[in-house]
Amino acid sequence: MKKYDSVLFDLDGTLTDSGPGITKSVAQAFNRMGMEPPCQKELNLFVGPPLASSFARYGMNPTQVDEAIRLFRQRYTTVGKFENIPYDGVQHLLSRLQTAGYRLFVATSKPENVAIEVLQHFKLDGYFEKICGASLDHSRETKEAVLEYLKQQCHLGKAIMIGDTQFDVNGAKEHGIPCIGVTWGYGNEKSMRDAGAVAIASTMDELYRLIDQEADAALSSRTS
C-alpha cells in the first residue's frame, strides 16, 4: 500500500545552500541603512525565517523593515540568488522519491517567483508538482501561511514536511503535518526536536529511509 501521498520541502537550507547569497545581501542592507551588520553567526539566522521578522529583531520599525527588505532584494534578486548550490545528493533523492510514487512540493518563505527561478536554474523544478512561496506584499510570508496557500491550491492527501529549522516544524504542526528535520542546513537540531520534529536526518539516504519509516508509523496509527 502506498505510503505518504506528498512530501513537502523547504528550500533554503534543505534543498539548496543559499546562505552565502542571503547573508551577503542582508549585510549590504544593514550597511546601506548606516547600521553595523550582525556577526556571521547571527547573519546565518536570516536563512529560512521571513525577512520581516528577522530584521525586526534588530529594533527596526515597520518602515525601516520595509526599507531593509528593499535593499536586500536589490542585491539578492540580481546576484545573491545565484550564490547558491544544491546540497550533494538532492537530485538523486528527488528522483528516488518521484520514482517511488510520491508527489513532491516546495513550501518556502522565500518569494515564490525567486524560488521558482532558483529551482529552474538548477534544473530541479521539474520534480515538483507545485512550488509555493511568499508573496511580495507580505500577505503570505510565514511557513504557516505558505502551507495554507499550498493546501488551497492542491489536495495533498497524507503529507510530511522536510525542513532545517523549527519554523518548518512549527508551521507544519499548525496544519497537522509531521515534519522531519535535516541537519545540513541552518537550523538547530535541539530546536527542531523541541518543536516536535518526528525525526532528524543527517544524510539524504537517511532522509529517504525516514520518510518511508515515518510514513509506515503514521499510516499504522491512523488505521489502528
pTM: 0.86
Catalytic hit among 10, 12, 164, 168: 10
140 and 205 housed in the same domain:
yes
Clarify whether residues 107 and 171 are in a common domain. yes
Instruction: Tell me the residue range of the domain where 115 lies.
Output: 6-17+86-223
- Which of 82, 110, 135 corresponds to the end of one domain? 82
pLDDT at 42: 95
Name the average pLDDT for the chain: 92
Neighbouring C-beta atoms of residue 177, cutoff 10 Å: 21
Number of separate domains in the chain: 2
The CATH number that applies at residue 207 is 3.40.50.1000
Note whether 10 and 24 are same-domain residues. Answer: no
Is 163 in contact with 14 (CB distance < 8 Å)?
yes
- Do 134 and 201 reside in the same domain of the chain? yes
121 and 45 together in one domain: no
Q: Using N-to-C axis directions, what is the helix angle for 90-99 and 204-223, rounded to 10°?
A: 30
Let me know whether 78 and 94 are in one domain: no
Given a contact cutoff of 8 angstroms between Cβ atoms, the answer to whether 83 and 28 are in contact is no
Q: What angle do CA 88, 19, 13 make, to 5 degrees?
A: 50
Q: 23 and 42 in one domain?
A: yes
- pLDDT at position 214 is 60
Contact 24, 75 (CB under 8 A): yes
Tens of pLDDT, residues 31-54: 999 999 999 999 999 998 889 999
Give pLDDT tens digits for 157-189. 999 999 999 999 999 999 999 999 999 999 999
One-letter amino acid of 107: A
Catalytic residue status for 10: yes
In this structure, the answer to whether residues 55 and 152 fall within a common structural domain is: no
- Last-in-domain residue among 58, 82, 106: 82
Quote the DSSP letter at residue 45.
G
